[in-house]
Amino acid sequence: MSTPYEATRAWAQAADAADPLRAFRDEFLIPPHGDGQTHYLCGNSLGLQPRAVREAIGEELSDWGELAVEGHFRGRRPWLNYHEFVRDDLATVVGAKPIEVVAMNTLGVNLHLMMVSFYRPTPERHAILIEAGAFPTDRYAVESQVRYHGFSPALSLIELEGDEPNGSISMAAIERTLAEHGERIALVMLPGVQYRTGQVFDLKAIAALAHKHGCMVGFDLAHAVGNLPLQLHDSGADFAIWCSYKYLNAGPGAIGGAFVHERHATATLPRFAGWWGHDKSTRFKMGPEFVPTPGADGWQLSNPPIMALVPLRVSLEIFRRAGMERLREKALKLTGYLEWLVDSQLGDVLEVVTPREPSRRGSQLSIRVKAGREQGRALFEYLERNGVIGDWREPDVIRISPTPLYNRFEDCLAFAEAARAWAKS
């Protein structure tokens, strides 16, 4: 069967020259390596810095220096409601209504805040469903919430094991688990993209199934936001949380985000209240009674962290111009090429762990060295020394993420060439 791909520099360069999104790469700082640049394939862990961030932060520093406290009201972008400057673009990226999203805190903090409202266990319905091998942030948070409410994780934490090759989870497995345990599950808490395998979950199908069994449902979108076109409002999920330092390129330790479905916008849900979550029209009257702002804003605790929001604002402006659908189209081409390179050039050495169906993966391919963990670490370190940057996840996975805003077909080829050179050494 003929293939549209070739494992040659000429083919990769021609594909890059034909890429309608190629100019966006110039808007990012690519880390150097020797006399050139790294082949940075690690946007699933930390996105690259947009060039415009430095100037944008400088503008806020200038306003601080020249206006001091008046910057809250008279700055170029008044700080008082700075989080609103990212709202519309953030809503577009995650497929939500503006009232449903807010940039605040970090992922772990937001997960706990959401669980205060949406994990309300009773003696009959107290369990939480997560995936086995969940990212520690989620695993620690849900276990601590179970204990906080006086229940035992041994009884109240249901971990969904992978039932497919390489550890991915079928929809049938989720259906079986909910059929068996649904009456005692208070919250279904699953990822948008599983961090180790790279599997994409069907948010809408999971939310509908969970609600059918009377469960609340939330999603950790750390590896999905900015990676896939999401339709959070249409999914029907009760809430979602994410970080912004991966595909959203908002910088190390960046401000996180949260989604709360519109149907909860004015609900009298229990929550940990904070001043900035109070109704903005009366916030500065400093009254003793908390009246939440409608929508996701009502879960805010503190005023916006301006310097943390600046990189997110800059990056989201790039996303607006690029468009999630176009980014997804390019991501499928990049991962398709990377998959073909592994299969055709390195099939005797490497195997792809991520599901093979393009609809079930994002911009990440998880790759395992067939010879085992020790050789996997050796390959990972060789790649790093030679300027090909991915990341390692225990016990034996190298994650390679060709990110469509700034990666090229040539980066995918560089990975394959370096891996082949290592295998021959």
- On whether both 316 and 382 belong to a single domain, the answer is no
DSSP element (H, E) containing 39: strand 39-40
Q: What is residue 358's predicted lDDT score, i.e. its pLDDT?
A: 96
Q: Using the 3D structure, point to which of 292, 320, 348 is the last residue of a domain.
A: 320
Q: What is residue 152's predicted lDDT score, i.e. its pLDDT?
A: 97
Q: Which residues of the chain have pLDDT under 70?
A: 1-2
CA–CA separation, 319 vs 50, rounded Å? 11
Q: What is residue 30's predicted lDDT score, i.e. its pLDDT?
A: 98
**CATH number for 28:** 3.90.1150.10
In 3-state terms, what secondary structure has residue 405? coil
- On whether both 376 and 340 belong to a single domain, the answer is yes
269 lies in some domain: yes
- On whether both 154 and 250 belong to a single domain, the answer is yes
69 lies in some domain: no
In 3-state terms, what secondary structure has residue 343? helix
70 lies in some domain: no
335 lies in some domain: yes
Q: Give 262-321 pLDDT, tens digit per residue.
A: 999 998 899 999 999 999 999 999 999 999 999 999 999 999 999 999 999 999 999 999
347 lies in some domain: yes
CA–CA separation, 171 vs 186, rounded Å? 19
The rounded Cα 337 to chain-centroid distance in angstroms is 23
β-strand 32-33 against 36-37: which pairing, if any?
A: antiparallel
Q: Using the 3D structure, point to which of 280, 297, 320 is the last residue of a domain.
A: 320
CA distances from 389 to 32, 224, 322, 381, 412 (A): 11, 20, 24, 9, 11
**CATH number for 128:** 3.40.640.10
- On whether both 220 and 298 belong to a single domain, the answer is yes
Q: Using the 3D structure, point to which of 295, 320, 345 is the last residue of a domain.
A: 320
Q: Give 47-93 pLDDT, tens digit per residue.
A: 999 999 999 999 999 999 999 999 999 999 999 999 999 999 999 99
- On whether both 83 and 38 belong to a single domain, the answer is no
CA–CA separation, 98 vs 295, rounded Å? 9
Question: Which of 323, 379, 363 is CA-nearest to residue 43?
Answer: 363
157 lies in some domain: yes
CA distances from 65 to 70, 75, 159, 226, 304 (A): 10, 11, 52, 33, 18
The rounded Cα 18 to chain-centroid distance in angstroms is 28
Total domains, the chain: 2
In 3-state terms, what secondary structure has residue 151? coil
- On whether both 266 and 339 belong to a single domain, the answer is no
71 lies in some domain: no
Q: What tokens were used for 198?
A: 């790279």
Round the average pLDDT of the chain to a whole number and report it: 96
Q: What is residue 263's predicted lDDT score, i.e. its pLDDT?
A: 97
What torsion do the CA atoms of 31, 320, 363, 334 make, to the nearest 10 degrees?
Answer: -80
Note whether 293 and 279 are within 8 A (CB): yes
Angle at 203 between CA 325 and CA 145, to 5 degrees: 130
- On whether both 144 and 222 belong to a single domain, the answer is yes
- On whether both 120 and 187 belong to a single domain, the answer is yes
63 lies in some domain: no
Range of the domain at 348: 9-51+323-424
Q: What tokens were used for 201?
A: 């979950």
- On whether both 377 and 257 belong to a single domain, the answer is no
- On whether both 112 and 195 belong to a single domain, the answer is yes
- On whether both 371 and 273 belong to a single domain, the answer is no
- On whether both 91 and 205 belong to a single domain, the answer is yes
